[in-house]
Structure 1
Amino acid sequence: PPQNTASLEQFERIRTLGTGSFGRVMLVRHKDSGHHYAMKILDKQKVVKLKQIEHTLNEKRILQAVTFPFLVRLEYSFK
């Protein structure tokens, strides 16, 4: 599973790729490696208010566990 080896400060936000009920997905660039990633940024208050904590934790656990060509790979996760 991915390790918490990164922080938000290590990424440069480039642009918004999409928005949803709990936040947005941003195109970001890792400052050290130069690699580009899609970063999902959740609004914690909305997740809690709409009682979706378990749902979002399940999504994270599933993405950590699976390797499938049609699913994105979870590289980093942090609060």
Structure 2
Amino acid sequence: MLHVPQATVAWISLVVGLHFFGLAVVWRMPALRLPATAMAACGAAGLVLAACGASLAVIAAVAGIAPGALLLGSVARSPRAR
């Protein structure tokens, strides 16, 4: 997007994080706001890194690996997982 291919994973992370806000409302699960905020922040940080010319590995770690770990961690902490 915007002719910056290294920012693709950051855009995806941002959009996935933002869609969790809608899911929190629709599913009446306000607890989803925390992972939504964290994932969207990782995506936004990845976009900033891409705009600053950071390496693809750094962008992937911040906007790809970190949100994945946050999502897995939030699932492991959920009451339904216990």
Please tell me the TM-score bracket, short chain as reference: 0.3 to 0.5
Q: TM-score scaled to structure 2, two decimals? A: 0.34
* Greater strand content: 1
Give the helix-richer structure, 1 or 2: 2
**TM-score, normalised relative to structure 1:** 0.35
